[in-house]
Amino acid sequence: MTAPVFRFAPSPNGRLHLGHAYSALLNQDLASRLNGRLLLRIEDIDITRCRPDFEQGIYDDLSWLGLRWEKPVRRQSEHFEDYRAAARRLRSMRLLYPCFCSRKTIMEAVARNEAASGNPWPRDPDGAPLYPGLCLSCSVDEAEKRIAAGEDHAWRLDMQAALASAPGPYTYRRFDKQGREELVEAHPERWGDAVIVRKETPTSYHLSVVMDDALQGVTHVVRGQDLEASTDLHVLLQRLLGLPTPLYHHHGLVQDSNGDKLAKSRGSESLAELRDRDVSAVEVRARLGFGAQSLIVSL
């Protein structure tokens, strides 16, 4: 039997904090318990927010924590061609359509729909309103003209067509820290016509994560609970693209003293700042529940 493959996949758009450390250490811990391999993937598709110094920070922080990973590291920005090919395939299946809407146009349409119906417009699991379908009715001719004229556009999944093309039920297997597995039902329709190729980059988190997990032979995905709902969409994309579905474990999120999840945007203390305050890697590991024992085993 081939060894299980785990991956930690941070985005270099800020410094890592304790939440990332927990996710990285849990990946390492579960990989070593299952005699698995651990990969590191740099998810830098957002070329406006990702920076080389943040990427270097990831390597420095993870090495400091005692993490070891296989090389070469996959950097998503070097693989846009893979994501373009996947998007082309979905387009050839007529499952993507171009969307020229700005965020403002969408919000205005949602407000109009809410006013007309008197009901709140449905939201996706992240709380964003489902796309109200404005560009779905745009003819192929008109869309081609607008694209040829250089108009900015994203590509959205035609959810109804996608569900018809790969009919449900949709499921994946989740595993716990003891290695027990159970079947989970997925409901991709709750994401509506999700953006699969963004305006400013030739992919999206959803498309590139699904492609890379398959291209890298990832068998076990360990990531935060905040991404659990996305898995439903990932399972659908895997079905449409003929890719295997890995096992998933979505872990609880490390919280600050107010009970809020740690976030770069909320100014949570970074691992680099902890290190500058002379907090040791052993202390960080212990605080996250990875005691000295796991340090000895993993080094």
CA nearest to 98, candidates 153, 159, 161: 153
CB-nearer residue toward ligand GLU: 223 or 239: 223
CB of 223 to ligand GLU, least distance (A): 4
Q: Judged by CB under 6 A, which of 4, 5, 9, 132 binds ligand GLU?
A: 9
Q: Does 10 bind ligand GLU (CB under 6 A)?
A: yes
The residues in 25-44 that bind ligand GLU, with binding defined as CB under 6 A, are 43
Size of the site for ligand GLU (CB under 6 A): 7
Q: Please report, for residues 38, 61, 125, 156, 202, the alpha-carbon distance to residue 279 in angstroms, rounded to integers and kept in the order given.
A: 26, 13, 37, 46, 40
Q: For the chain, how long is the longest CA-to-CA vector? A: 64
CA nearest to 30, candidates 212, 173, 179, 228: 179
CB-nearer residue toward ligand GLU: 10 or 129: 10
Q: How far apart are CA 168 and CA 188, in angstroms?
A: 10
Structure token digits, residue 63 = 């090495």
CB of 43 to ligand GLU, least distance (A): 4
Q: Judged by CB under 6 A, which of 227, 229, 253, 295 binds ligand GLU?
A: 227
CB of 178 to ligand GLU, least distance (A): 21
Buried b (16+ CB within 10 A) or exposed e, 151-160: eebbbbbbbe
Q: Does 209 bind ligand GLU (CB under 6 A)?
A: yes
Q: How far apart are CA 17 and CA 57, in angstroms?
A: 11
Q: Which span sits near ligand GLU by CB under 6 A: 9-17, 119-127, 128-136, 176-184?
A: 9-17
CB of 38 to ligand GLU, least distance (A): 13
Which spans of this chain sit near ligand GLU (rule: CB under 6 A)? 9-11, 43, 209, 223, 227
